[in-house]
Amino acid sequence: MLLIDGMMNIMKKNSVLKDMWIAFRKDDRPHWEVMADDSMNKFLKFCISCVFLWMGYQVVVALWDRFI
């Protein structure tokens, strides 16, 4: 019975999308790198991204006003 159960596990096929999702979700970074990306760093990245997006918006508005 154990042999049949093992063969069933080997023969089980996942869908292509599920296999892609599993490969995408796999986090193969080292432990120290995962732990270094804590909430404070994520908040800092968010703030820096907001500043750059705001500056980009201001550039687009200034170019729009000047040339159009």
The domain segmentation of the chain, as residue ranges, is 2-67
Within a 13 Å sphere around the CA of 63, how many CA atoms are in the beta-carbon half? 6
Nearest Cα to Cα of residue 23 among 15, 35, 11, 31: 15
Q: How far is CA 39 from CA 3, 35, 36, 50, 52, in A?
A: 47, 10, 9, 16, 20
Q: Kindly report, residue by residue over 10-45, the tens digit of the pLDDT.
A: 556 667 888 877 777 777 778 777 777 788 888 999
| CB 27 within 8 Å of CB 34 | yes
Q: How far is CA 45 from CA 34, 51, 58, in A?
A: 15, 10, 20
pLDDT of residue 35: 76
